[in-house]
Amino acid sequence: MKTSRYAVRSAALTSYVPLARSLGLDPYNLLKEAGINRAALLDPDLKIPAEALARMLEASAAEAGVEDFGLRLAATRELSNLGPLALAMREEPTLRRKLEAAAKFQRLHNEALRLRVEEEDGLVYVSEAMLGTSGTVYRQAAELTIGVLHGMMRLFFGEGWAPRAVCFSHQPPRDMAPHRRFFNAPLRFRADFDGFICQARDLDRATQAADPLMAKYVSAYLDSIIGDPDNDTRDKVWQLVLAMLPTGRCSAEAVADSLGVDRRTIHRHLAQHGETFTVLVDAVRDELATRYLLHDRRRASEVALLLGFSSQSAFSRWFSQRHGCSITAWRAR
C-alpha cells in the first residue's frame, strides 16, 4: 500500500502498547502489520509514517471491537507528549496565542496535520485536517487528534471548560456514551470538519504559568529549525485551497492575495514539488470527493458545491475524466 510522505513523531505511540494489551490485542503484531518498527516505542522523537499510524489505529479498534480506541488513547496524553509543540504552546499568554503557535509549529510534531482557527459572530471554529490520506477516513486518528486538543484546552482552562460543540466529519458510533463522557459537550457527526466550536471570548482569557518573553525565545528557536520554506508555502496553499473551494472563488490569484505574494511566487514554490496550481487543486478535490462520496455518502449535488464547481454536471464531467467512470459506477465498485 502506498504510504503518505508525511511523518509524525513516535511520541504518538505513547500508551499504545498497554492500551492494546488491555483490550486483548497483540500490539507488536499490529505494529508489524502497519510497517512500524518496534524501535519507535523506545524513542519518542523518531519519525514514523503518519498514515501507517492511522491505519494501525483503525485496525486496533476493529480487532478489539471498540469504537472509541482513539479517545481512550487521547485520555492518556500529557502536554509533554507534544515535544517542541508543547514548548511553543505553554509559554503563550492566551489560548488564542497558544492555538496560533500550535498551527505554526504543528508539523514539528505531526507533518500530516493542519490546524485552522476561524472566527465568526463571536464563535471560534477550531479544526484539524489530515493531509495525504487519498480520501480515506481515519476516524480513530481524527478522534485521537481532537481528543488530545480538547485535553490541552481543559489543561489550560480547567476541568470545567467545555466547547459549544465537538464536530467530526465521519459517521457517528453505534454507542455515543463514551464520546459524551469524554467531551461533556454536544456532538455533531457528519460535519464539514473535525474540531470544535467555542466562544471567542474564551480564547482571549489569560492562562496561568505563561511567560511571553520565553515564548518569544522559543518561537525564534523553532523558526530556525522549522524547515524548507517551499514546503511551508505548499502546505499553506493546500490549506487555503481547502478553505476556498466551497466559496467557488478558489484561484491562484485569490490564494496569492491571501498569502501577500504575487501569482508567480505561488507557481515557483509549487514547481519545487513538480506541481502546478491546477494539479494541486485537482488533488485536493479528488481527496475530498472520495471522502464525501464514499464514506459520508453525500449527494453529488452537495459535493459539487463543497468542491467549488459551478454545477453538478461540471463536477460529474470532471469526476468521469479523472476516474474513467461515472460517480454512480464508481460508488458501486
Examine residue 90 and state whether it is found in any structural domain, yes or no.
yes
| Residue after which a domain boundary falls, among 154, 185, 203 | 203
State whether 88 and 157 are in the same domain.
yes
**What is the pLDDT at residue 229?**
52
Neighbours of 37 (CB within 10 A): 12
Could you list the residue range(s) of the whole structural domain that residue 287 is in?
Answer: 229-331
Residue 97 and residue 219: Cα distance in Å, rounded? 12
Residue 282 and residue 287: Cα distance in Å, rounded? 9
Reported pTM:
0.71
Examine residue 58 and state whether it is found in any structural domain, yes or no.
no
State whether 193 and 233 are in the same domain.
no
Output the DSSP codes for 249-302: ---HHHHHHHHTS-HHHHHHHHHTTT--HHHHHHHHHHHHHHIIIIIS---HHH
Cα-based distances in Å from 276 to 238, 239, 264, 269, 279: 12, 15, 11, 9, 5
Query: Phi, psi at residue 130, to the nearest 5°?
Result: -100, 125
Of 174, 218, 168, the closest CA to residue 190 belongs to 168
Query: Phi, psi at residue 94, to the nearest 5°?
Result: -130, 165
The predicted model gives 100-110 an average pLDDT of 83
Examine residue 30 and state whether it is found in any structural domain, yes or no.
no
| Residue after which a domain boundary falls, among 203, 238, 267 | 203
The predicted model gives 225-238 an average pLDDT of 67
In degrees, rounded to 5, the angle at the alpha carbon of residue 241 between the alpha carbons of residues 237 and 242 is: 120
**What is the pLDDT at residue 3?**
45
**Sign of the CA dihedral running 34, 39, 43, 48:** negative
Examine residue 23 and state whether it is found in any structural domain, yes or no.
no
Of 219, 221, 277, the closest CA to residue 103 belongs to 219
Output the DSSP codes for 78-135: -GGGGTHHHHHHHT-SBHHHHHHHHHHHGGGTBTTEEEEEEEETTEEEEEEEE-S-TT
| Residue after which a domain boundary falls, among 203, 218, 240 | 203
pLDDT band at 86 (very low <50, low <70, confident <90, very high): confident
SS3 165: strand
Rounded to an integer, what is the distance from CA 25 to the centroid of its chain?
27
For 143-164, what is each residue's pLDDT tens digit? 999 999 999 888 887 778 889 9
Question: Is 227's pLDDT higher than 70?
Answer: no
State whether 127 and 168 are in the same domain.
yes
The predicted model gives 226-231 an average pLDDT of 55
SS3 8: strand
Residue 202 and residue 196: Cα distance in Å, rounded? 13
Examine residue 161 and state whether it is found in any structural domain, yes or no.
yes
State whether 253 and 185 are in the same domain.
no
Examine residue 26 and state whether it is found in any structural domain, yes or no.
no
State whether 100 and 196 are in the same domain.
yes
For 26-59, what is each residue's pLDDT tens digit? 999 999 999 998 888 888 888 888 999 999 999 9
**Number of folded domains in the chain?**
2
Query: Phi, psi at residue 250, to the nearest 5°?
Result: -90, 110
State whether 77 and 181 are in the same domain.
yes
Residue 307 and residue 43: Cα distance in Å, rounded? 41
Examine residue 42 and state whether it is found in any structural domain, yes or no.
no
- The mean pLDDT value of the chain amounts to 86
Parallel/antiparallel/unpaired status of strands 165-167 and 187-188: parallel
State whether 88 and 170 are in the same domain.
yes
| CATH code where residue 255 lies | 1.10.10.60
pLDDT band at 211 (very low <50, low <70, confident <90, very high): low
State whether 302 and 175 are in the same domain.
no
What would you report as the CA-atom Rg of the chain, rounded to the nearest whole angstrom? 20
Query: Phi, psi at residue 12, to the nearest 5°?
Result: -65, -15
State whether 195 and 82 are in the same domain.
yes
State whether 199 and 243 are in the same domain.
no
State whether 319 and 263 are in the same domain.
yes
Per DSSP, 158 falls in state -
Per DSSP, 15 falls in state T
State whether 254 and 181 are in the same domain.
no
Examine residue 209 and state whether it is found in any structural domain, yes or no.
no
Residue 43 · residue 172 · CB < 8 Å:
no
